[in-house]
Amino acid sequence: MKNENLNPFAIAQAQLDEAAAVLQLDPDMHAFLREPMREFHFSIPVRMDDGRTQTFRGFRVQYNDARGPAKGGIRFHPDETIDTVRALAAWMTWKTAVADVPLGGGKGGVICNPRELSQAELERLSRGYMRAIARYVGITQDVPAPDVYTNPQIMAWMLDEYEQITGHHEPGVITGKPLTLGGSAGRSPATAMGGIFTIREAAKIRGLDLNGATCAIQGYGNVGSYAHQLAHDILGMRIVAVSDEFGGIYNEHGLDPEVISEHMRRTGKVIDCPETEPISNKDLLEMKVDVLIPAAIENQITGENAARIQAGIIAELANGPTTPDADKILAEKGVYIIPDFLCNAGGVSVSYFEMVQNSYQYYWDESLVHQRLDQKMTTAFYAVHEMAQAKQVDNRVAAYLVAVNRVAEAVRLRGWV
Ligand code: GLU
């Protein structure tokens, strides 16, 4: 398992290749689906607080829009690369298809470290990003959203910039907005909530009683922190370890989400929280727990550590946390994987609900959002489960089969291939 290729786009293509082989997909269709339809690379000059101008590199990839406007978040990250954005845009294409929302797949990114920017610099960067892509996005073309290190405030600045440029209100141009500007109730917890519904169904299949079952969560951003709270409150699970990029914490009796959130608010990190012991990110992944939730970034479970994973279920709330080499090892060990673009489809599903509410100018309450999200996630979960049974493949390949069939059908009906 030496020299594993960790380029996220090479991984996304390899996953598609495997599904295409099972499907006996037409080679012309396969070739078309292997590449993004459109991508934009641009410079964003930003006036910094000290008067200098710093130029940032930005990307937007519209991977496939056969089923509807491209849809997907914008990531602000120091390690961003065009291939990461391509992979994430491909995964969005499969995600919207498996969730069966009438959207395509896209993604955006900026190479930057938001921690090193002041609020004013962050605002100018966000507005600069939107200025660069304004003519290529919109409710009929491409609808961005938050992702790693972007948030509702950044969506608000981008919405405002877009509306300043076009001269009209169009709240549906971006999702994950603050409620006041047309955001949806239940959007912030949506990715985690969707994952909770899939864990609930996976546990039924595995005959696992979730009440008191143990769980470890890697990542404590929007997704990981809500996953902690919801797994605790809704499923009654015992979350024994959580982590962020600075390190992890552990308590075998369970970690109280309120206490960690309070500690996070004060210090910005999970480490050093009272009544916990430190644990490394590496050790957290290898803990003996019923459910492991990677909720950070890609390439965390690889050919190098997969053999040491002891979890029974892996619920992939991150995008691309598990590599193809790891998949093979985990399959042999009988680990049940809820694959990323199924497990984390709750975010984009509620983004879709947000777009619907924006176009109706009529807003739903949170309980209706949750009910409709549950319906979407449960339906998607069983579409994948039944495909896995019918074709005798693992859940990731099954999710690809469901998604690729749907996208390929739209491409064919349009007469593109
Ligand atoms: N960034 C999220 C994801 O990876 C949400 C995308 C969206 O809502 O458009 O699924």
Find the CATH number of the domain harbouring 61.
3.40.50.10860
Q: Are residues 50 and 131 in the same domain?
A: yes
Q: Which tens digit of pLDDT belongs to each residue from 80-123?
A: 999 999 999 999 999 999 999 999 999 999 999 999 999 999 99
Cα R_g (the chain), whole angstroms: 20
Residue 388 has pLDDT above 80, yes or no: yes
DSSP state of 312: S
Q: What percent of the chain lies above the pLDDT cut of 90? A: 99
Atom of ligand 1 nearest to the CA of 144: 9
| Residues 47, 116 within the same domain | yes
For residue range 300-358, list pLDDT tens digits in order. Answer: 999 999 999 999 999 999 999 999 999 999 999 999 999 999 999 999 999 999 999 99
Identify the DSSP state of 239. E
Q: Determine whether the shortest distance from the Cβ of 74 to ligand 1 is under 6 A.
A: no
| pLDDT number for residue 295 | 98
pLDDT grade for 193, boundaries at 50, 70 and 90: very high
Say how many domains are in the chain. 2
Mean predicted confidence (pLDDT) in 404-410: 98
Chosen domain end from 181, 201, 234: 181
pLDDT band (50, 70, 90) for residue 406: very high
Asked if residues 190 and 197 have their Cβ atoms less than 8 Å apart, the reply is no
Query: Which of residues 164, 181, 198 is at a domain's end?
Result: 181
Average pLDDT over residues 194-210: 98
**Above 70 in pLDDT, residue 286?**
yes
Is any atom of ligand 1 closer than 6 Å to the C-beta of 107? no
Q: Which amino acid is at 327?
A: D
Which tokens sit at 327?
């998949």
Q: Are strands 53-64 and 70-77 parallel, antiparallel or unpaired?
A: unpaired
Residue 412 lies in a domain: no
Q: Map the chain to HEC letters.
A: CCCCCCCHHHHHHHHHHHHHHHHCCCHHHHHHHCCCCEEEEEEEEEECCCCCEEEEEEEEEEEECCCCCEEEEEEEECCCCHHHHHHHHHHHHHHHHHCCCCCCEEEEEEECCHHHCCHHHHHHHHHHHHHHHHHHCECCCEEEEECCCCCHHHHHHHHHHHHHHHCCCCHHHCCCCCHHHCCCCCCCCHHHHHHHHHHHHHHHHHCCCCCCCEEEEECCCHHHHHHHHHHHHCCCCEEEEEEECCEEEECCCCCCHHHHHHHHHHHCCCCCCCCCEEECHHHHHCCCCCEEEECCCCCCECCCCHHHCCCCEEECCCCCCECHHHHHHHHHHCCEEECHHHHCCHHHHHHHHHHHHHHHCCCCCHHHHHHHHHHHHHHHHHHHHHHHHHHCCCHHHHHHHHHHHHHHHHHHHHCCC
Q: Does any domain span residue 171?
A: yes
The verdict on 82 and 43 lying in the same domain is: yes
Candidate of 348, 349, 352, 353 to mutate for ligand 1, largest count of ligand atoms within 8 Å of Cβ: 348
d(CA 117, CA 71) in angstroms, rounded, equals 27
Report the separation in Å between the CA atom of 180 and the middle of ligand 1, taken as the mean of its atom positions: 20
Question: What is the CA(61)–ligand 1 centre distance, in A?
Answer: 14
Is 194 a member of any domain? yes
Give the residue numbers spanning the domain of 74: 39-181
Would residue 354 count as lying in a domain?
no
Kindly tell me if the per-residue pLDDT of 1 is higher than 60: no
Question: Does position 282 have pLDDT exceeding 70, yes or no?
Answer: yes
Q: Which tokens in the block code for residue 70?
A: 């491209």
What pLDDT band is residue 2 in, cutting at 50, 70 and 90? low
The ligand 1 atom at the shortest distance from the C-alpha of residue 341 is: 10
Picking from 343, 374, 389, the residue at the C-terminal end of a domain is 343
Instruction: Establish if 361 belongs to a structural domain.
Output: no
Structure confidence by residue, pLDDT tens digits, 121-180: 999 999 999 999 999 999 999 999 999 999 999 999 999 999 999 999 999 999 999 999
Considering the candidates 71, 95, 107, 177, report the single residue annotated as catalytic.
Answer: 107
**Does the beta carbon of 351 sit less than 6 angstroms from any atom of ligand 1?**
yes
**Cα end-to-end distance, the chain, whole Å:** 37
Judge if 166 and 206 occupy the same domain. Answer: no
pTM reported for the whole predicted model: 0.98
Of the candidates 359, 357, 361, the residue with the CA atom closest to the CA atom of residue 349 = 357
Q: At CA 191, angle to CA 190 and CA 193, rounded to 5?
A: 60
Q: Best of 342, 350, 351, 373 to mutate for ligand 1, by most ligand atoms within 8 A of CB?
A: 351
Query: Do residue 245 and residue 325 come from a single domain?
Result: yes
* Distance from the alpha carbon of residue 154 to the mean position of ligand 1, in angstroms: 14
Q: Does 112 fall in a domain? A: yes
In a domain, 360, yes or no: no
Mean pLDDT, all residues of the chain: 98
Q: Decide if pLDDT at 222 tops 90.
A: yes
107 is catalytic: yes
Query: Is residue 33 pLDDT above 60, yes or no?
Result: yes
How many angstroms is it from 383 CA to the middle of ligand 1?
21
Whether residues 158 and 274 fall in one domain: no
Instruction: Tell me the average pLDDT across 190-202.
Output: 98
Query: Does ligand 1 lie within 6 Å of residue 112's CB atom?
Result: no
- pLDDT for the residue numbered 3: 81
Domain identity same for 323 and 195:
yes
- In ligand 1, the atom with minimum distance to the C-alpha of 348 is 8
Please give the structure tokens belonging to residue 52.
């200098």
